[in-house]
Homo-oligomer: A and B are copies of this chain.
Amino acid sequence: MDNKYISLAHGNGGRFMRELIEQVFAKKFANGNIDVQADAVKIFPPAGELMVSTDGFIVQPLFFPGGNIGSLAVHGTTNDLAVSGAVPLYLTLSAFIEEGMAIAELEIIVDSMANAASDIGVKIVAGDTKVLNRGEGGGVYFATSGVGVKDPRLQIGLNQIQDGDKIVVSGSLGDHGICVMLARQQFGLSGDLKSDSASVLNLAKIAYQQKGVRFMRDPTRGGLVSVCHEIAQATHFNVRLQQSSIPIKDEVNSVCEMLGYDPLYLACEGRIVAIVQADQADQLMSKWQQISNGQDACVVGEIEQGKGRVILHTELGGERLLEELEDDPLPRIC
């Protein structure tokens, strides 16, 4: 590479762009499918239902304890496939890089991306890079799209949810949101909290094998409550959460109390919310608890007849309506 920082010439289709793609992206994503000279690439999914998903990533700062925008961009899209019942197989990557970004920093991010993809067994097969003018890019933005294959016998979806089903979460809530907020240091706070950003594919695969799993979602932007509202709006059932059962780390609770955030609305990037037939919920919880990223799994509530409301049964025994999220307490967390 001729220089240490991204210039507009790295986005022009000429030699600098070719070298950037060859030396940073293609080298790290090295796999049998990538062809840096192709406009489009062939993929070879096995039999099953093909599913696609896409996600954009603009997290600030680019690095946070437990991950960075590169690993997040792999986890985000592959998690969407995993909770939909599809094993992720292929990813495409579109990178929007800001003029002036240090190529060494970009390489660290692309390395994380390559490692995350390799851990999940997903191949990054096609890519595109664009360069944004200095000041117009926040370092780097990514969009990833994924292709996965679902076993057609697996019946999960909002339309499967029934009265009486239980709600199981795979781990503590809000770690990612608070971790990214602390990494910004805008409130002068710091801490040891790590983001939960991770692949949920291992958790999802356990759920695929578990009888009675009706629906799964990863609670990202808008957190657990936003998933509950989606369920309530789609099914017209009420969703009731038991405050005392919801796993939230002390550090997350403290920061939330200090700044007036509600952890139930905060983003996770490595958790699953599953809706499960009542008599199977404990079994899913126990199975999840046996693996490291599921050890704090809990049954946190249930689906009941109602008018599409989301209700919190408080620790004091009262009830509180949880409204749909409106303003944004923590922008740019994914």
**CB–CB B332/A128 < 8 A:** no
Q: Is A111 an interface residue (CB 8 A)?
A: no
Q: Which residues of B sit under 8 angstroms from A39, Cβ to Cβ?
A: 53, 79-81, 83-84, 217-218
Known: A84-B38, A332-B133. A11 touches B221 (CB 8 A): yes
**Across the interface, do A56 and B128 meet the contact criterion of CB distance under 8 Å?**
yes
What separation, in Å, do the CA atoms of A250 and B92 have in the docked complex?
Answer: 39
A142-150, A168-176, A298-306 - interface stretch: A142-150
Contact with B along A24-47 (1 / 0, CB 8 A): 000000000000011111111100
A45 and B50 contact, CB distance less than 8 A? yes
- Residues of the B chain whose Cβ atoms lie less than 8 Å from the Cβ of A57: 130
Structural contact, B58 and A51, CB atoms closer than 8 A = no
Which stretch of A100-108, A253-261, A321-329 is in the interface?
A321-329
Q: 8 Å CB contacts to B: which residues of A89-105?
A: 90, 92-96
Q: Does residue A251 face the partner (Cβ distance < 8 Å to B)? A: no
Q: Is the CB of B53 within 8 A of A40?
A: yes
Complex Cα distance, B141 from A58, in Å, reads 12
Min distance, Cβ A129 to any Cβ of chain B, angstroms: 7
Separation of A305 and B44 alpha carbons in the complex (Å): 35
Report whether B58 and A221 are in contact in the complex, using a CB–CB cutoff of 8 Å.
no
The reply to whether A40 and B324 contact each other, CB–CB distance below 8 Å, is no
Residues of chain B with a CB closer than 8 A to A286's CB:
none
Chain B neighbourhood of A129, CB < 8 A = 56
Interface: A151 (CB within 8 A): no
Contacts of A37 in B (CB 8 A): 158, 230, 234
Chain A 4-29 interface mask (CB, 8 Å, partner B; 1/0): 00011101111111100000000000
B54/A133 in contact, CB under 8 A: no
User: B220–A13 contact, CB under 8 A?
Assistant: yes
Interface string of A120-132 (1 = CB under 8 A from B): 0000011111111
A331 interface hit (Cβ, 8 Å): yes
> Which 9 A-B pairs rank lowest in CB-CB distance, beginning with the nearest?
A14-B325, A13-B222, A13-B221, A143-B143, A145-B145, A94-B143, A54-B92, A40-B53, A12-B328
Binding site for B on A (CB under 8 A): 7-9, 11-18, 37-45, 49-58, 79-81, 83-84, 86, 90, 92-96, 125-133, 135-138, 141, 143, 145-148, 150, 157-158, 217-218, 220-223, 226, 230, 234, 265, 267, 324-328, 331-332, 334
> Given A39-B84, A145-B145, list of 20 further CB < 8 A pairs?
A9-B326, A12-B222, A14-B324, A14-B328, A15-B324, A16-B326, A40-B51, A40-B84, A41-B53, A42-B50, A43-B51, A44-B50, A53-B126, A54-B145, A56-B95, A92-B145, A94-B143, A131-B331, A133-B332, A136-B137
